[in-house]
């Protein structure tokens, strides 16, 4: 067995960064070396909690701690590509990238090609795939327990008030964030691909109904998958006054499976064996992020220690981002969109240098 310690630095110290830190320190073979944020107070808070040094400049961090061999990029979504490519090319570090990994398929393709050239690795974060409810349904589909999928549906009915978008300038922008689908719904559309398979066509309508932002806070869509499966999607953050539902349900040849809860953590309906619902559900009341990040770090440790494949490989990541862009392209053109390698929205992830400069580290 190889001896290899994944020595991680976390850049970007928002709320989910703390969950990364807790997952890292709880995982054998993974060590937290440092945290970094442009806002010193944010980095300092995690520094004190986890007893590691903090920095407000990641370039200084790499000079001070050259033993870092992996970096968790938890910065605003629109900065992921810029941060990832610099860290890969200039500092030679493996990267762990929070959802939605990259804002544009072309960025994802470019980053993966660069990593391959440099013999480095990209580890996308889609933690809900690890949820027990998701794993039970996936097993049932793989083993034929549910039969063929006929209709797949997603319903996300969440509440994000105007004050949520006013927390930071990047929120609610096409350049740095994306709307309800990119920020909140990304996990559920990734689960559609994970459970059902790749999508052929999307027909979507997007609206901004509950907040003063440039991006969508509501989307409805129909989908056609590669197999004889059709689907419907409803994602909104305009529900009031609180979060109501986030579910993925599958109407299948031999029964019905529905996953719900605050983060796809409850097996709510499973007609092959309804008694399994309790055993395959998890309590996420302590953290909406659940337990998947720690399982992800275990997989990263196994990748280096045992040469085990990381479960989200290049095309898997790319196809989820292409699927995401198909919704935006459909809304932009007012037509049904074929999901293929060329698909890319004109809006999502478009450049905004003024906004990006707020999140760039000075040389």
**Average pLDDT of the chain to the nearest whole number:** 97
Read off the pTM.
Answer: 0.97
Q: What confidence score (pLDDT) does residue 87 get?
A: 98
Report the candidate in 361, 362, 363 with the shortest Cα–Cα distance to residue 75: 361
Kindly write down the DSSP assignment for every residue of 248-265, as one continuous string. EEEEETTEEEEEETTTT-
Mean pLDDT value across residues 168-197: 97
Report the candidate in 183, 175, 171, 165 with the shortest Cα–Cα distance to residue 353: 175
Report the candidate in 46, 15, 14 with the shortest Cα–Cα distance to residue 32: 46
pLDDT bracket for residue 2 (50, 70, 90): low
Residue partners of 128: CB distance under 8 A and separation at least 6: 134, 187, 190, 191, 263, 264, 290, 292
pLDDT bracket for residue 296 (50, 70, 90): very high
> What residues does CATH 3.40.50.720 cover in the chain?
6-125+293-312
**Displacement of CA 100 from its chain's centroid (Å):** 4
Q: What is the pLDDT of residues 11-38, one digit of tens each?
A: 999 999 999 999 999 999 999 999 999 9
> What residues does CATH 3.30.360.10 cover in the chain?
129-281+316-338
Q: Report whether 310 contacts 298 (CB < 8 A).
A: no
Q: What is the pLDDT of residues 217-269, one digit of tens each?
A: 999 999 999 889 999 999 999 999 999 999 999 999 999 999 999 899 999 99
Q: What confidence score (pLDDT) does residue 287 get?
A: 84
Q: How far apart are CA 58 and CA 283, in angstroms?
A: 36
Q: What confidence score (pLDDT) does residue 363 get?
A: 84
Q: What confidence score (pLDDT) does residue 286 get?
A: 81
Q: What confidence score (pLDDT) does residue 135 get?
A: 98
Q: How many CB atoms lie within 10 A of CB 100?
A: 29
What is the three-class DSSP state of 86?
A: helix
**Displacement of CA 300 from its chain's centroid (Å):** 16
**Displacement of CA 213 from its chain's centroid (Å):** 22
Q: For residue 351, what are its two tokens?
A: 């450049």
Report the candidate in 158, 146, 150, 235 with the shortest Cα–Cα distance to residue 190: 235
Q: How far apart are CA 288 and CA 158, in angstroms?
A: 13
CA dihedral 313→316→320→323, nearest 10 degrees, is 150
What is the three-class DSSP state of 157?
A: strand
Q: For residue 348, what are its two tokens?
A: 């999502």
Residue entry with tokens 């027990």: 132
Q: What confidence score (pLDDT) does residue 285 get?
A: 85
CA distances to 110, 285, 293 from 289, in Å:
29, 10, 8
CATH superfamily of 6-125+293-312: NAD(P)-binding Rossmann-like Domain (3.40.50.720)
CA distances to 9, 72, 193 from 87, in Å:
11, 11, 29
Q: What is the pLDDT of residues 120-176, one digit of tens each?
A: 999 999 999 999 999 999 999 999 999 999 999 999 999 999 999 999 999 999 999
The phi and psi torsions of 153 (rounded to 5 degrees) equal -140, 145
Q: Does domain 129-281+316-338 have CATH number 3.30.360.10?
A: yes
Q: How many alpha carbons fall within 13 Å on the CB side of residue 176?
A: 22
């Amino acid at each position: 067995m190889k001896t290899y310690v994944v020595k991680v630095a976390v850049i970007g110290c928002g709320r989910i960064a703390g969950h990364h830190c807790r997952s890292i320190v709880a995982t054998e073979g993974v060590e937290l070396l440092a945290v970094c944020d442009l806002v010193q107070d944010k980095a300092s808070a995690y520094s004190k909690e986890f007893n590691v040094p903090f920095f407000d400049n990641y370039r200084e961090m790499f000079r001070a701690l050259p033993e870092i061999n992996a970096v968790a990029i938890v910065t605003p979504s629109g900065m992921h590509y810029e941060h990832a490519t610099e860290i890969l090319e200039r500092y030679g570090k493996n990267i762990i990238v929070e959802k939605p990994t990259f804002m544009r398929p072309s960025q994802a393709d470019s980053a993966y090609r660069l990593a391959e050239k440099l013999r480095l690795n990209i580890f996308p974060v889609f933690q809900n795939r690890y949820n027990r409810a998701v794993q039970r349904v996936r097993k049932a589909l793989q083993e034929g327990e549910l039969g063929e999928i006929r209709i797949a549906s997603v319903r996300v009915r969440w509440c994000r008030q105007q004050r949520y978008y006013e927390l930071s300038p990047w929120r609610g922008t096409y350049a740095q964030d994306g709307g309800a689908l990119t920020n909140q719904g990304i996990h559920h559309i990734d689960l559609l691909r994970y459970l059902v398979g790749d999508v052929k066509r999307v027909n979507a309508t997007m609206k901004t109904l509950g907040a003063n932002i440039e991006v969508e806070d509501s989307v409805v869509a129909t989908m056609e998958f590669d197999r004889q499966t059709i689907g419907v999607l409803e994602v909104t953050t305009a529900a009031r006054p609180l979060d109501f539902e986030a579910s993925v349900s599958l109407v299948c040849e031999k029964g019905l499976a529905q996953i719900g809860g605050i983060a796809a953590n409850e097996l709510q309906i499973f007609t092959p064996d309804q008694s399994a619902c309790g055993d395959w559900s998890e309590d996420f009341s302590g953290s909406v992020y659940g337990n998947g990040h720690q399982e992800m770090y275990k997989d990263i440790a196994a990748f280096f220690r045992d040469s085990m494949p990381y479960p989200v490989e290049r095309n898997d990541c790319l196809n989820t981002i292409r699927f995401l862009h198909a919704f935006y392209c459909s809304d932009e053109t007012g037509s049904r969109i074929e999901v293929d390698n060329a698909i890319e929205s004109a809006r999502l992830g478009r450049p905004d240098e003024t906004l990006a400069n707020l999140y760039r580290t000075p040389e």
